[in-house]
Amino acid sequence: MLLAREDAIVLAVNRLLAEKGFDLMTVDEVATEVGIAKASLYKHFSSKEDLAAAAMVRILRLAQDFLATLPAKAKPLAQLEAVARWMLEVHLAGEMPILPSQNSSLRANLMGNKDYLNRLMAVSDHIGNWIEAAQKDGSLNPKIPALVVLYTLYARACDPVPGFLKAGGTHSDAEIVDLVMATCFNGLKA
């Protein structure tokens, strides 16, 4: 029962972070969304930062699960494209938590969360290996530092363009993913 409640809390946090972002989400909203008292919520998570960390651990767990489904023998660029496509699809489905990059209390909390750090490092190493292999085989520009490529891929998870296009109503989610993928991997040149 306790784990089921925690799962419900994390799912609510995840949805609210995807919809509103960290700064606008409140603990009161999370409690209301789950249907519990705020005091009960604090029995599971001691702060708003802990709630956000739990949502990030969840998405990193999902990312690890997704990475494990990719065929090991696929070309590195195909792996990277699959990861970027997955991030965009999760983002468009409203399931990607959006966190500010400059909130020091949240950053400190995340840097102190071993589960988050371990999962982030595992996902980053996995993707980083594909980046280096794709640069080595010439399918990615080797002059761009691998870390820049990694951050560019991570940025697709919180890219505002898919949301703008979705709100415009002229493209399906699949078309939006294809368009953003084209700009990410093929650039804007003719």
Q: Which amino acid is at 160?
A: P
pTM: 0.89
Rg (CA), the chain: 18
Q: Is the pLDDT of residue 182 over 90?
A: yes
Q: What domains can you pick out in the chain, each with its CATH number?
A: 2-186 (1.10.357.10)
How confident is the model at residue 105, as a pLDDT? Answer: 83
How confident is the model at residue 104, as a pLDDT? Answer: 76
How confident is the model at residue 82, as a pLDDT? Answer: 97
Q: What is the DSSP string of 41-104?
A: HHHH-SSHHHHHHHHHHHHHHHHHHHHHHS-TTS-HHHHHHHHHHHHHHHHHTT-S----SS-H
Where does the pLDDT of residue 4 fall: very low under 50, low under 70, confident under 90, or very high at 90 and above?
Answer: confident
How confident is the model at residue 188, as a pLDDT? Answer: 83
| Mean pLDDT across 165-189 | 94
Instruction: Give residue-wise pLDDT tens across range 108-162.
Output: 889 999 999 999 999 999 999 999 999 999 999 999 999 999 999 999 988 899 9
Q: Between 23 and 128, whose confidence is greater?
A: 128
- Rounded to whole angstroms, how far apart are CA atoms 38 and 169? 37
Long-range contacts, stretch 137-140, CB < 8 angstroms, 24+ apart:
137/75, 137/76, 137/77, 139/75, 139/76, 139/77, 140/76, 140/77, 140/80
Instruction: Give residue-wise pLDDT tens across range 55-104.
Output: 999 999 999 999 999 998 999 999 999 999 999 999 999 888 887 777 77
Q: Do the Cβ atoms of 13 and 30 come closer than 8 Å? A: yes
